[in-house]
Amino acid sequence: MSIERSFLLALTSALSSGAVASAQTSLTGRTIRLFAVGDYVLPRFSPSGQLLAISEVLADTGHENTQILILNMRRSAVDTLLPAEAAAKYATYKAYVSDFEWLSDSSLLAWIPDGDVGAAAVTFNVRSKQIMREEHHEGEDSVPPYQPLADSLANLYPDVAPSRASPSDVFGSALSWPTVRVRSAVLLQKRYAGVDDDVWLYRLDRPEAKRILPLPGGPRASLAGGFATARDIIFAAGSDTLGVYRWRAGHLETMMRIPVRPQASKLSVRQQRGDSVWFILRVHASYEPGNNPAFLYDGERLLPLADYRDLADFDVHPATHRIAFVYWDGEQRHLVVKELLTR
């Protein structure tokens, strides 16, 4: 039995519950491409799935730097979109990519922090390898984008604030942290002095609120994000132990629990198609070796993606049957693109 297969069985056993798959055939097949020399992060498929954006971390220089690569699946070739010497100009202390956003198959937005308080939002024409637009951001925006929603919630729930506090400030504090938007409601944790630390579901169309999950642990306890399907809300919350919960038809179910560091976790969705949702629990910092558990929620169960013992990140493109994993190998993160098996 292979090491990877043994680990798969061990993980599914450790996470076993009524809603977590107790046995699973691997969802991956042949290897399409392997990057085993170098340190790679942030694999992100383009809308068509034919291109994969990758950031290569260059830490063996005087200051940490980056370069942006594009893996072209059709040509089985790797193109350099932003070379290291061009990326270095964005650094104050270092330059790295914190996020990618594909605007189309020919347009990619990369966020490049400078290692201080600023960041550059750089939009590339992928075909011509030219910069189309560049914006520089320093610190926080003057008006948070969530403020209109905070004001709307404050009008519906004016009694949420403690004495001499503004309900808009209470909801603004909540919305600056992970929340889950549902069709006509929002799941949140208020995170404001003088109010509870529990997870609540607030209606947006009428004043109706429901406490979904009491969270003991004070400031250590946190809502770590989630997602909504047609009939479920799946979310992660906890302090020293992070639970993944399902809210369905007015009932709460615990799907799994894992030990974590308080307030260091986040549930991040990688792909959603109807009730099928691919997501990862980020329980380690991006620079910290360790395993970030990843799953496919198929509408009923959590199916662990346990191909690698120390998974750092992944992305998936179900339509083209491709999945990309970043995994730790010593002090570096390697990248592999595999065939995704359909069932």
Q: Is the pLDDT assigned to residue 151 strictly greater than 70?
A: yes
Q: Quick one: fold of 3-340?
A: Methylamine Dehydrogenase; Chain H (2.130.10)
Burial class (CB in 10 A: 0-12, 13-18, 19+), 325: buried
Q: Is the pLDDT assigned to residue 12 strictly greater than 90?
A: no
| Two structure tokens written together for 11 | 């993980």
252, β-bridge pairs: 247
* Phi and psi torsions of 298, nearest 5°: -95, 15
- Residue 128: predicted pLDDT: 96
Residue with the bigger pLDDT between 157 and 183: it is 157
- Residue 199: predicted pLDDT: 98
Of 103, 142, 99, 104, residue with least CA distance to 120: 99
- Residue 138: predicted pLDDT: 83
Of 18, 24, 1, residue with least CA distance to 306: 24
pLDDT in tens, 132-147: 999 998 866 567 889 9
Domain boundaries, the chain: 3-340
- Residue 4: predicted pLDDT: 38
Full-model pTM? 0.89
